[in-house]
A and B are shown apart, each in its own frame.
Chain A
Amino acid sequence: MSTTEKYVTAAYCVVFALVLVYVLILALKLQRLEREVDELAGRVPDEDTEQAPQEPARVG
């Protein structure tokens, strides 16, 4: 491999690495957001347990 070929390859590798790092950062951020959504969902009372006592009781 000549020096020019090495430089050209390095240029494309740098572009690839930068895009990869950027996508990884975005993926990590989305993971954090997903965790936060789960945490908030845990705080909200479950709809089924709230609605259960409101069901009409059987008579007769």
Chain B
Amino acid sequence: MGRTRIPLPALAVSSVVLVTTALAFVFFVAPNDQSLGFSQRIFYFHVSIAFAAYACFICGAWQALRHLWKRDPRADLASYVCVHQGLIFGTMVLITGSIWAKVAWGRWWIWSEDELVLFLVLYLFYCAYFMLRFSVDPGPQRANLSAVYALFGVVLIPVSFSAIRLARAYFHPQVFTLHGPNFGGWILVTYCMAQAAMLVLAYTLYRLEIGGKRLDVRLRRLREALA
């Protein structure tokens, strides 16, 4: 029995509705944080986007494992698209984080802060994934090398995540602790809304991109067959 998938138009509409609702909650419903003030509103999307990026990298690693296990070329393509998505979301994390740092700390970037540097290391690691992938000719060797690299990258995620808890010199807010979320009420509702919006948006963009990539591959094969 084939898997039933949510149609792409339905996903796109859900993304738009969720993102719009999340934005309305961020600016009109959520109260100002007592210690961080208005600037805390960046965190609703900054943290959600960061978790969406981690989810993309984890999915990329899972697809890479599937490729190595079953030698499925579709899994290699899926892994590549997941990593690409993760990198796009990672770019947004770095930009929104830098803007918050400018508001809170008065500087765009602080090299002595582990959480910033470790996220940048994770980001650059996945940037190098593309350099590796496109330096090898298409084929099984490229797919295998990319899969192994994507699998290694997932190790950096817990390191980057825990670095926020190790931050000492500057105050970096912790959204989640061992006892659960560090906030409640409308702040928690708004955060959950933003998180759902970002995950659905990431999945929609993933489906859109992989649909295009699969069509591209099929067209290339068809063109070769017709030539």
Q: Which residues of A approach B to under 8 Å, CB–CB?
A: 2-5, 7-8, 10-12, 14-15, 18-19, 22-23, 26, 29-30, 33, 36-37, 40, 43-44
Contact = CB atoms under 8 A, between A and B. Distances in A.
A33 B92 CA distance: 28
Given A10-B99, A33-B215, A37-B219, A15 B37 contact: no
Given A4-B103, A18-B91, A23-B205, A11 B42 contact: yes
B219 A36 contact: yes
Interface residues on B, range: 20 to 34
Contacts of A18: 88, 91-92, 95
B67 interface: no
B226 A11 contact: no
A44 to B, nearest CB: 8
B126 interface: no
Nearest to B201: A19
Contacts of A14: 92, 95-96, 99
Closest 9 CB pairs of A and B: A11-B99, A11-B96, A7-B103, A11-B42, A4-B38, A4-B39, A14-B95, A33-B215, A8-B41
Nearest to B220: A36
Contact of B99 (A5, A7, A37): A7
A2 to B, nearest CB: 7
Nearest to B37: A4
B45 A15 contact: yes
